[in-house]
Chains A and B, each alone.
Chain A
């Protein structure tokens, strides 16, 4: 048996390694996706006051700290047993939408566009944002501008772009001002134009990836996401919905507090990332996916006009239930449009300027669960505290965790399709990494590689002898 190791996967958030096992004929027999960093947050927060949890857990990630701040604050709201002021709820959703815009822009333009616009087999030395600047300067500029818009809205609301202290248990700690509201409204049309341009570009480009569409974890799974009472797409608030591989609803309007009835977590021997599964089906058959692709499969509609029009076209092209992981990119763009439209709706509502933005309370429940849809999928924070508010137990299920089983199976599918063990082709192995990138996994890291991290690929003989090696710089 021979083995190829991709260590580590570049242009993702965090660190991961992929092992591809080959038989004597050089054909792929098995693959493994190892997440090599340990998080440990659940353990070391024990004993901390619960209201510190938003700031502690937001440090899990520097790309979407806002997601952890929101899920954590929602769990704390439950511990305090408060209904947060209406303005605070709107402000939290607004910053969440801004984060969707910046995070999705980062994933599409900065991390995946080198593969998507320059080509999977293009020169690896140029397959990065520097190469993008040469070949597609307008698209790159759009990406940077879109991400900047999202980040600036976050800064305008929360005073800081990364790890802001503005989102707190009970609401937010400062009200929104009219000038910031008007400024953001004035900038929205330019951001909308970028997303529409990019959607048009992507729809034209899509047909040049038939093999990737066919093999990038293109298999039926269940899907999970938050929906509103009318089945519409929800990012900040809502109930869980699970659909089967055929699109039939198998659990609907599940109260987030009941998540553990539906979601179990398996521990894998070769990865620090646990593998959640749909409990009624069991492990490992209870594989389900979350994130942009899943949310658009799960929701009946988006609930905003332009995103709904795009969703209709998306479903017209690809079917009601889209199974190929390659279409995470397309779904991500539609969601970005939705986030911008939703921002407009929130900003047009004068109630967002309300002066009551924070509820104060002590410990009124000994347990709290906060669930949101983070850019990468459903994010669950579950806490237990003692009578004094000291944390006694925590469980965090991050989006990438839900997708762990699907990423693992997807790697096997794409490796079987493209990797030939008799000759390492960089483009083939890049496709394996690109599959991982399509899920935009956030492996609990505070930084990202931007294509500059060397990718070391090794082909080893049965005795571990190095047969061939490929390296990108």
Chain B
């Protein structure tokens, strides 16, 4: 039998199951915590730092996606400090690479764009990096544009955990980190890729897209990817 615990989220007492994360509990009760690297059905990695929350008794902010609940935990999902950090995180994501919504296939359907709008990012306070990045067009059906990648690693986890092919990885460190397919082979030459396209659907931005779609045309079926996990767990 699973252990039930009681937690307080923004003052509301909520019954949860031990082992669940703060993010899972909050979302199950319609409490909004933004997140970019988290996707239902995949393991959580706490990479994007957008889901940082205040936990009473803990001096620093904690990522909601990787922090398990425990009896008596009290969480604040928002505060002026949290909001300012989240806005900063979004701005830093925007300056890191070349995000040009005006010509992006995912404009209007992009999680980063939506987060920026939701957090009132009307302008960016930091200088842009403008790195020179490549576009991998070698796959016959899909395209990878590093300019739009936020290194959330959803594609990496989708391919490894759901498809079981593990084509993707992140190479390099820090600002030089890059998504790579099959140890730096062009995507089109990756022999382990099954061309299932689930990485494309999981990608929150226009970094991965189906070939041939114009600006604003690429809509993603993320729920379908998440559902695969829950269906397998139900078996």
Contact = CB atoms under 8 A, between A and B. Distances in A.
B212 A51 contact: yes
B214 A362 contact: no
A311 to B, nearest CB: 37
Contacts of A52: 103, 105, 214-215
A362 B134 CA distance: 20
Q: Is the interface of A mostly helix, strand, loop or mixed?
A: loop
Interface string A54-87: 1110010000000000000000000000000000
A168 B218 CA distance: 13
Contacts of A362: 140, 211-212
A49 B103 contact: no
Interface residues of A, number: 20
Q: Is the interface of B mostly helix, strand, loop or mixed?
A: loop
Interface string A39-51: 0000000011101
A59 B103 CA distance: 9
A389 B137 CA distance: 7
B210 to A, nearest CB: 11
Interface string B98-127: 000011010000000000000000000000
A351 B209 CA distance: 33
Centre residue among A163, A165, A169, A390 by max chain B CB count within 10 A: A165
B192 interface: no
Given A49-B143, A59-B103, A388-B188, A54 B214 contact: yes
Contacts of B134: 47
A55 B214 contact: yes
Contacts of B215: 52, 54-55, 165
B163 interface: no
A55 B216 CA distance: 10
Q: Chain B interface residue count: which class?
A: 10 to 19
A21 B198 CA distance: 65
Interface string B189-228: 0000000000000000000000111111100000000000
Nearest to B143: A49
A141 interface: no
Contact of A51 (B135, B140, B211): B211
Interface string B71-112: 000000000000000000000000000000011010000000
A39 to B, nearest CB: 15
A173 interface: yes
Given A49-B137, A362-B140, A173 B214 contact: yes
Interface in A70-107: none
A360 B212 CA distance: 8
A442 B65 CA distance: 52
B137 A51 contact: no
B129 interface: no
Interface string B123-164: 000000000001101101001000000000000000000000
Given A54-B214, A55-B102, A388-B188, 12 more contacts: A51-B213, A52-B105, A52-B215, A55-B215, A56-B103, A163-B102, A169-B212, A173-B214, A173-B217, A388-B137, A389-B137, A390-B135
